[in-house]
Amino acid sequence: MWLLAKIHAFLDASLRRLKLLEDRQVGWLTLDRKSGNLKREQQTLWKKLKLLLLFNPLTEWIDRTHALRIWTHRKNLEAVRRQDEGKPQSHAQIKSFIDFYHIDMCSFEPSDPESYPTFKDFFIRRFAPGARPIFAPEDPTKAIVSADSRAVVYPTVEKLRALWIKGNRFTIANLIKDDERSLRWINGSVASLRLSPQDYHRYHSPVKGKVKWYKHIPGDYLQVDPMALHSSVNILTENARSCVCIESEEFGDVLFVAIGATDVGTVEIHDEMRKEGHAVEKGDEIGLFQFGGSSIIIAFEPGRIDFDEDLERLSNEETMVDVEVGMSLGKASRPDIPPTDEAS
């Protein structure tokens, strides 16, 4: 009986792994916030193998300058640019992409894949009205998730660096390339949102406020998978990114940074979001990513937000949470303190 039980357990585990491989569920372990179930992110097997090759202790020891990884990612980017997802013939890729990632088109408008002339048009598709309701829309003391993504949140930048982003150059100053402006977030609270190719790739304001400043920083388009972020490669401070500071009465100055990654051709911030003084409502669309994976960093001044308990608890366990745009992110901890004018 003991031997039969062991054989059954081995076969059961093997079949489960084969099923995961068949469904391409080989990515980082995440918890689906809506269902409460643990699952692995869908990735192509080639991408998974490439990540294992590029980001492991042996490669890090051999490739001290990270030249191999940077060269590989730049080759990927060149290949995507040559492919040009905006050509009419790219329309043929849409159906296979939907099938591979099991995308529910009922949530989008238009819902018919044939309505998108090119893959690029499909990639920046919009949700149908009501598909992503905004949490507590009339309460400005409640912040929301900015994008369909996998999220981790930490009360301080130091904890983010200790548990999640291991690149030794990651600081807010390096992220926005501005020592003076970075002072207000020097050890503030941070939410890190990572988007995958199958996700909705438009992003929205987490809070109500007004635009204080905008800045674009050119750079690379390196991989933002957790395996890469856990390595010594300084990815988030090297990739191309666009920064918007939103001045909020309830949360103080909120830093929103959209970061390009592998195969992303554009990190776009809408024109009105670049204008100082532009009024922003919670949930307003800030901009979009073109094709590929990508990442968002949202930083709050110290002591200005209490992240939702489930997000913070799971983040401390280094478990990403599968979230949707409009879900609750946290609440203002000192909503009665007015924003300051210093270091603008």
Q: What is the pLDDT of residue 228?
A: 47
Least confident of 123-132, 177-186, 225-234: 225-234
| Residues carrying CATH 2.70.70, the chain | 140-332
Tens-place pLDDT, residues 229-275: 444 555 556 778 899 999 999 999 999 999 876 555 578 899 999 99
Pair of tokens at residue 341: 């004018």
Q: Please, is 113 exposed, middle or buried when counting C-beta atoms within 10 Å of its C-beta (0-12, 13-18, 19+)?
A: middle
75-88 burial code (b ≥16 CB/10 A, e <16): ebbeebeeeebeee
d(CA 269, CA 48): 30
**Residue 148 catalytic?**
yes
Confidence of residue 17 (pLDDT cuts 50, 70, 90): very low
Beta strand 320-323 with 25-32: parallel, antiparallel or unpaired?
A: parallel
Most confident of 9-13, 90-94, 103-107, 167-171: 103-107
**So what's the architecture of 140-332 in CATH?**
Distorted Sandwich (2.70)
Mean pLDDT (the chain, rounded): 79
Write down the catalytic residue from 66, 204, 242, 253.
204
257 closest CA partner among 226, 221, 287:
287
Is 204 annotated in the active site? yes
The more confidently predicted of residues 226 and 296 is: 296
What pLDDT sits at residue 89?
Answer: 79
Q: What is the pLDDT of residues 31-73, one digit of tens each?
A: 999 999 998 876 565 555 555 555 555 555 455 555 555 555 5
Q: What local confidence, expressed as pLDDT, does residue 176 receive?
A: 94
pLDDT tens for each residue of 322-344: 999 999 999 999 777 766 655 44
- Residue of higher predicted confidence among 288 and 160: 288
Per the listing, tokens 């890090």 go with 60
Could you confirm whether 73 is annotated as catalytic? no
Q: What is the pLDDT of residue 261?
A: 65
Q: Point out the catalytic residue in the list 294, 295, 315, 328.
A: 294
Q: Which of 148, 225, 253, 322 is catalytic?
A: 148
